[in-house]
Structure 1
Amino acid sequence: EPISTSYSIKHSKLQSFIQHICVESLTVSSTKLIECSTNSFSPESVRLVDGAGLCSGRVEVKSNKSWASVCEADFDRQDAEVVCRDVGCGAPASLQGGLYGEGEGQTWDKEFQCKGKESLLLDCDTSDRKHNTCLPGNAVGLTCSEPDDVRLVGGDSRCAGGVEWYDQGEWRTVGAEDWEQEDVAAVVCRQMGCGSTVSVLPGNTTRGFGVDCDGDESALRECRRTYDLLPGLTVICSDLLVQPDIFLTDPMGGVSRGHQGPEMFRGYNFTITCSTQPQYPGGSYLLTFTGSNRTQTQPAVNHSAAFLFPAADDSHQGNYSCVYDNYVFSHNFSSESELLSLTITGN
C-alpha cells in the first residue's frame, strides 16, 4: 500500500534514504506522497557482472524482481559516471558493448538520461527507447577505476586513526557492532596495504553508518551496509611505520658499485646508515647481519643512526638490514629495510 507523508521530497539524498524503506522499489512524486511500487528500481538498482571485480562488468539494472542488460545505444558516458558512483567505484575507464557478454535475461527497455552528477542511478531520468531491438554484442560493458575510498584520520599515520569511507561525494564515519569490529578492521587494514590489525575500538563520539564484513573481503565496498548509526571505529594496523632506508658510505674512497651491490676494499673503514622519514620521535635501529648472530642497536637521533665498521675484512661480507622499532599508540611497532648486499674485495 502507498505510504503517505506530509513532507515534500526535494533532495536526492533524502530520496536515496527513503528508497531503503521500500522492500522492492521506489517512485517519488513531486507532491506530498511517497509511493513504494514494483514497477521501478529496487534498492539495489544496478550491478556490474561477469567482470574482473566489483568495478567492472556488464551493466544490469533491476526491475520487476529481475535483472536486465542495458543496450549500448541507450547508455552514454554520463550514465556511466553515475553507475560507477552508485556501485562505489571511481570514474569510468572504458565503455564498450559486448565486452562482458550478453547475459541470460532480458534487455532493459528504457534509455537513461543521466546528467552525470547524480549520486545514484535511481536519481536519473529515463525515457522510452528510440531503438526497437538491441543487437547481439551490444550489451554495454563498463570498467570503472578503483577508488581510494577509505582512509584513517586523526592518528598521525595513514595506518592508524578513525575509519572514514568516501561515499556520495563526502567522507563519512564508519561504525560497526561490537561483534563486527574485528572483521571490519581487518578489511580496512588489508585495503590500505597496512598489514594486519593491531587494535580496534570505538574511537569517537561521532556516529557513522554501520558496516557488516566477513573479514576476508579485499575492500570495504564489498561489505554490507546496515545503515545503522553506530560509534565510529578507530583502527591501528601493523604496518604503521614507514620502511627505513639503508645505505653505505666511506670517508676514504674504498667503496665501489658492483652488479650485486656495493663492493668494499679490505682494510678501509665504512659506515652503514639507517634512516627514516620524520614520522614519530624517538625509536631505535637494529642493524642485522644475515648469516650471523651479530646485531647492533642504536637509538634514533634525528630519525637516523650510523654504524661504523673499521678495517673491512672478509667477515663483513654479507647482507645487512635495518629494523626500526618505536613505541607509539601504546604498542610496539617495527619496520625493516630492504637488504644491502656488501662484497669485500681487493687489498
Structure 2
Amino acid sequence: MSTPSVQVLGETPSLSKLYLNAAALAARKKLLGHHEKPELPAVAHEVADVEIDLEKLTAYQKLFGLPVSDAVPSGYVHVLGFPLAVSLMTKDEFPLPLLGMIHLQNRVEHFGKIERSQRMDIRSWAENLSGHRAGTKVDLVVEVRAAHSDDLLWRGISTYLAKGVFLPGIDKPTTQPPKTDFAPPNPTAVWRLGADAGRAYAAVSGDFNPIHLSSLSAKALGLRTSIVHGMYVASRALAEIGTSASDSFVWNVSFEAPVFLPATVGVRIEAEEENGPAADAAALEGNAPKMLFVGWNQRSGRRHFTGSVEPILPN
C-alpha cells in the first residue's frame, strides 16, 4: 500500500457518534447495495496535540487495579488512538461493516515511558485487506508521536475480522490453520467477570459497541449474549504482569474465542523458559524476561486468548 494522505481532524472523534453513523451506513448499504471494487480508504486520520485527561486516566487505572499515577499504561494509549481507527472504519468507502466486527489480535511496540503531561500527535490508517477462512480481515494501524515531532512513542496494529463477509476479488485461504491441543494449566489467577464487565470498560474507554453492553444489544447483532472487550482482557493481563516496570517493550495478544458474560476465566502468567545467547544477554543487562499469558474458560477449558510481553533490548 502506498503512503496514505493525511487528514488532520479538529478533535478526537466521538465513539458514540461513530457507532450511530456505522448503524446508519450499514442500513444504507443494505438498501442500496455496495458493488464497488473493495479498496481501503487512501487516507490517514490524525489528531494533533492531544492532551491526556487526568480524570479518565485515573478511572482506567482504578478499573485495572493500577497505581494512580502520571504513568500512562500501554493499554490506555490504545484507548486514545482507537477513535481514529473507528473513524476510518465508518467512512463510506470502507468496504467492511464496523458493527459486529471481531477483534482477532494486537501487536504493540511501546518505545518508552509516557507521562500524562506528554502531548501527542496520533495518526491511524487501514491496510492489509485480506481473506480469512471465516470472512475478510483488515489491519488498523495507530502511531503515537510526541506532539509536533517525529519521536515515535507507541505503535499498534489491531487486526479485525468481518465474519461472513466475502468481498469480490479477495481470495480466502484454502488451507486450514493447524489445530493445537490445549490443556488448561494451573491458573495463577481467576477472573470472575460479571455481566457488567463490558459496560465498565466502555465507561473508561468510550467504546460503547453494542456487542459489549448487554445481552439484548448483543443478540441484535447475532451473538447469544454480550462479550467483554478484547482490550479489557489484554489490559488486565498487562496490568497483572506489571509492564510499567519496563521503559520499552513489545506486547502481543491473539483472541481465539469470545468471553461471553458473565464468565469465569482462568489465567496463567509466567516467564518464558528460554536459553541461548539472547536470554543470557538479557539477564546480563538486568532486563525482565519475556512473559507469557493465556486465558481460558474455567468450565469448558476452551482457550480465550494468548499473549506475550517482552522488553525491547537496546541495540
Q: TM-score w.r.t. structure 1 length? A: 0.20
More strand per residue: 1
More helix per residue: 2
By relative contact order (CA 8 Å, sep 6+), the higher-ranking structure is: 2
